[in-house]
Amino acid sequence: MDSRERVKLLLNKQIPDQMGLYESFWPETIRDYWNNQGYPKDQNPEIVFDYDIQGCGGWFNSESFMGTNCVVEETDEWQVVKDGRGARLKTWKKKSGTPEHIGFEVENSEVWKKYREPLLAVNRERFGKIKDHKNNLESARKRGKFSVFANCFVFELMRATIGDQNFLPSLLVEPDWIRDFCQVHLDMFKAHYEVLFREAGLPDGFFLYEDFGYRNGLFCSPKTMAEMIMPYEKAFVSFLKDYKLPVLLHTCGDIRKAIPLIIDAGFDCLQPMEAKAGCDVVEIAKTYGTKLSYMGNINVVPLETNDPEQVRGEIIPKLKKMKEMRIPYFYHSDHSVSPRINLKTYQYALEVFHENNKY
């Protein structure tokens, strides 16, 4: 059984020969640290570590005014950029981190009218080079890997366009504006992916990135999410399912109260189930069983000790319980591999996984 066959079974909530394997990294982990610890320079970790899933693109530029990004303030350590959504975001130059929200032009429904217009028609320039997406798909298939396209969607796009302090209250006080924002982006995504699927080809699945939660819970109540957000998530998932694509959801934070909504929307896999936010894949799987497949929840904190005993103590019990319950599972960190984890430690973690991954 190759990786592609294995992942298809797992996402269909079935049990193949062994568990799946995938991972995400903070950019500086490999770039600034592991390259000095023996990692092969300029090599894709999906290939170096032989993951079952291969990202093949699928992202497109969803800004209203592409090509208008400009630096408005900077130092040696950080810069503030105004982007094509009208957002001013402060980011570190040499390390990862959540951008600091400085300001947003789209702070009410009147300004939104200006920004919605460029999103109403298909713009092929948003894709970059379609042949690159196509070549990535062909590469994954030659390697026997499960290919995925990926993108953010309405919740993340509201955060990026309107800002948390604006869009979260607006869910309650300006629901018509929020519904219009979501509908415009839903229509835009469907129209653009119809073009990309037709011209680049179909991936094996789709990864949607929507951070519904933070360390202490959801950003809005399950009731508000059900009324204002999930109808659009469900509609986009349904669109992808029309192409026979399973859909994986990345959503950070403590998202436990949203899981029934996530299942109802049609998502096939939940990732990454942050241990640091109180999520426990074993407990979640006990509750929801094979209504989902599961990816992640390997707490990076024990791995960051670089102590082999703590690494084994984090990985083996979770793998053992998931096997005992016959739950479809992919090894993955509970968010991303940080530079505090040495390359040697990560390699050892994968050894532990491979020694214990057979169903």
Q: Which of 53, 47, 45 is nearest to 3 (CA)?
A: 53
Q: 293, 326 in Cβ contact below 8 A?
A: no
- Give the pLDDT confidence of 228-248 residue by residue, as tens digits: 999 999 999 999 999 999 999
Q: Give the percent of the chain with pLDDT over 70.
A: 100
Class of domain 3-64+109-355: alpha beta
- Give the pLDDT confidence of 47-102 residue by residue, as tens digits: 999 999 999 999 999 999 999 999 999 999 999 999 999 999 999 988 888 889 99
Q: What is the pTM of this model?
A: 0.96
pLDDT, residue 93, reads 87
The domain segmentation of the chain, as residue ranges, is 3-64+109-355
What is the rounded CA–CA span in Å between residue 17 and residue 5? 10
Q: Give the percent of the chain with pLDDT over 90.
A: 98
Q: 204, 148 in Cβ contact below 8 A?
A: yes
Q: Which residues are within 8 A (CB) of 33 and not within 5 positions of it... i.e. 6 or more apart?
A: 339, 343
Q: 211, 154 in Cβ contact below 8 A?
A: no
pLDDT, residue 95, reads 83
> Does the pLDDT at position 227 exceed 90?
yes
